[in-house]
């Protein structure tokens, strides 16, 4: 009963309130760092900052699932593939949120390339919304991003989600949210990465996120981070072999849906 009430409240907020989609930022590496991911460059950049795909030099497929014990209807999952070619990296991914009462499904196709000191990328996203009693709506949106290498130790990243401000349907003037992200990453050593970013939804207050990644050894990595507005704490670990990548992240929200667990598995199609 609690799941039904919370889900219906979520649906009501989407259609009557601000038409707010769920966040598509995903991947346990990013989650362990509070999703301060504007400058991260891995296979999950397709959903976080598409420009980061440019640094993927080995084709890889990966899947991730986030579970919220307090509300199973708010679980999220995604599958992504980053295919590295000489002209650049092609990204293809699917994202799912929700259950039979309310769900969001996204299919994304992206391309990213390194041009001098800057990586640039763009994605086209087909998004489908399904809500019990409201029917099905769909949009086609465009997102773009860039990551600039300011120095050997400093990166600047920016990303705009739904820069086209696509409508939910031809008869609905409500907009799929446009999210602007600006972030910095500082790499003091080969073992440490510090990241911070500011996110601004056009109809909501800004969110600040910061995260830390430490490579304890060649195979093991630990992560932590926090966000403000909303206030969340994050932690995570990672394990990497020659081809296999396994990551886990834990999130605690001081208000809202409580804790969340996310696990990701990646497999490199071709080893170095």
Work out the average pLDDT over 61-67.
98
Q: Tell whether the model's pLDDT for residue 10 goes beyond 60.
A: no
Q: Tell whether the model's pLDDT for residue 20 goes beyond 70.
A: no
Contact 211, 197 (CB under 8 A): no
pLDDT band at residue 169 under the 50/70/90 scheme: low
Q: What domains appear along the chain, each with residue ranges and CATH number?
A: 2-268 (2.40.160.60)
pLDDT at residue 5 in the model: 43
pLDDT at residue 167 in the model: 63
The 8-class DSSP code of residue 74 comes to: G
pLDDT at residue 168 in the model: 64
Instruction: Show the beta-strand stretches assigned E in the chain.
Output: 60-67, 76-84, 89-98, 102-115, 118-131, 135-149, 154-161, 167-169, 172-175, 179-189, 192-201, 207-215, 220-228, 232-240, 244-253, 259-268
pTM metric for this prediction: 0.89
**Could you report how far apart the first and last alpha carbons of the chain are, in Å?**
51
Work out the average pLDDT over 7-33.
67
């Amino acid at each position: 009963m609690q799941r039904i009430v919370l889900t219906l409240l979520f649906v009501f907020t989407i259609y009557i309130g601000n038409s707010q989609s769920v966040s598509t930022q995903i991947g346990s590496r990013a989650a362990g760092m509070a999703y301060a991911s504007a400058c991260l460059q891995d296979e999950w950049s397709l959903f976080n900052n598409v420009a980061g795909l440019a640094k993927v030099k080995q084709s890889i497929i990966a899947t991730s699932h986030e579970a919220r014990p307090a509300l199973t209807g708010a679980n999220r999952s995604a599958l992504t593939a980053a295919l590295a070619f000489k002209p650049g990296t092609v990204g293809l991914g699917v994202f799912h949120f929700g259950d039979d009462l309310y769900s969001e499904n996204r299919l994304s196709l992206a391309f990213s390339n390194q041009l001098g000191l800057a990586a640039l990328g763009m994605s086209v996203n087909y998004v489908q919304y399904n809500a019990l009693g409201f029917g099905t709506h769909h949009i086609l949106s465009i997102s773009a991003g860039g990551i600039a290498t300011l120095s050997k130790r400093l990166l600047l990243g920016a990303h705009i989600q739904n820069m086209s401000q696509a409508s939910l349907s031809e008869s609905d003037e409500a907009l799929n949210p446009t999210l602007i992200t600006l972030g910095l990453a500082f790499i003091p050593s080969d073992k440490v990465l510090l990241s911070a970013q500011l996110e601004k939804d056009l109809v909501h207050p800004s969110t600040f996120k910061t995260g830390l990644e430490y490579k304890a050894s060649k195979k093991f990595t630990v992560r932590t981070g926090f966000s403000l507005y909303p206030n969340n704490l994050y932690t995570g670990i990672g394990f990497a072999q020659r081809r296999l990548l396994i990551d886990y992240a834990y999130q605690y929200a001081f208000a809202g849906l409580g804790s969340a667990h996310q696990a990701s598995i990646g497999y490199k199609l071709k080893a170095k």
